[in-house]
Amino acid sequence: MLETLASHLDTIAALAPKWGFFVIFFFMAIESSFIPFPSEVVMIPAGFLAERGELIGTGGALGAWAGLVALAIAVVCGIIGSLAGAFLNYYLALYLGKPFLEKYGKWFFVKKEPLERACEVFNKYGACTTFVCRLVPVIRQLISIPAGISRMPLRSFTLFTGLGAGIWTAILAAIGYALGRSAGEISYLELVTRGKEMVSNNLHWVVLGAVALVALYFLASKLAMGRRA
């Protein structure tokens, strides 16, 4: 799938000066929903195009900051798109329920085994999984479904999902931005492939960092509750 999608990036990149940020939002919403779509194909090229000045141009009032401003806007668009797709999963699960998804989920690209695994992880570790699992391939799209099934409070769901999506999109976009500075002339397929390898080689550190943040969150919450008591 990666090779097929990357082969069309030249066509999509031509739209970047005018529609780039909307394209980022649209495809990240798809990626975060039940439709299988790799976020690497979206955010790595987004960072690359931001550095090359193909999202908002170069120079002008922003000067040397144009690339970083474009990078920041691309990340924000990616986060909002991720939240939109996650909300779709959340409300589908909320209103349809687990029995319906187990029976008819295949028509929504939701297979029974991954769904069971996502529900198992959510039920075992609780709401914080909507944060940590946003950084884990395959399960990242599905973790919103058990959150909807269990009627997780929307405010907490939005916070944890937004934080996880923010870290993930920022990492991918930063990789694309760095490659935009160092890679010279490179095809989009090679760009995405190299970026994905960089993510895969360091994913364990990302997940460990997320787990550490969750641990600090619970520690701080426990200390705050102790002081109140």
**pLDDT digit string (tens) for 175-214?**
999 888 877 777 777 888 888 888 878 777 777 877 777 6
Predicted pLDDT of residue 111: 77
pLDDT above 60 for 63: no
Q: Is the pLDDT of residue 61 over 80?
A: no
Query: Per-residue confidence at 2, pLDDT binned at 50, 70, 90?
Result: low
Domain span holding position 209:
2-228
Report whether 32 contacts 86 (CB < 8 A).
yes
DSSP 152: -
Give Cβ neighbours of residue 171 (< 8 Å, ≥ 6 apart): 199, 206
Q: Which DSSP helix (H) or strand (E) runs through 32?
A: helix 16-32
pLDDT of 114 over the 80 cut? no
Tell me the mean pLDDT in the region 146-163. 90
Percent of the chain past pLDDT 90, that is, above it, reads: 17
Distance of alpha carbon 43 from alpha carbon 40, whole angstroms: 6
pLDDT: is 227 or 128 the higher one? Answer: 128
Query: How far apart are the C-alpha atoms of 18 and 22, rounded to whole Å?
Result: 9
**Residue 60 carries which side chain, given as an amino acid letter?**
G
Beta bridge partners of residue 63, listed in sequence order:
59
Q: What are the CA-CA distances from residue 115 to residues 121, 125, 131 (Å)?
A: 10, 16, 17
Provide the domain count of the chain.
Answer: 1
Over residues 115-145, the pLDDT tens digits come to 788 888 888 877 788 888 888 777 788 888 8
Report the predicted TM-score, pTM, of the whole model to 2 decimal places. Answer: 0.83
Residue 29: pLDDT band (50, 70, 90) is very high
* Sign of the four-CA dihedral 164, 106, 108, 97: negative
The length of the chain in residues reads 229
The answer to whether the beta carbons of residues 40 and 199 sit under 8 Å apart is: yes
Helix ranges restricted to H, 56-187: 66-96, 98-104, 112-125, 129-132, 139-142, 144-149, 154-182
222 — phi, psi (to 5°)? -65, -40
Evaluate the CA torsion angle 94, 135, 28, 21 in order and state its sign: positive
Q: Is 105 helix (H, G, I), strand (E, B) or coil?
A: helix
pLDDT of 162 > 80? The answer is yes
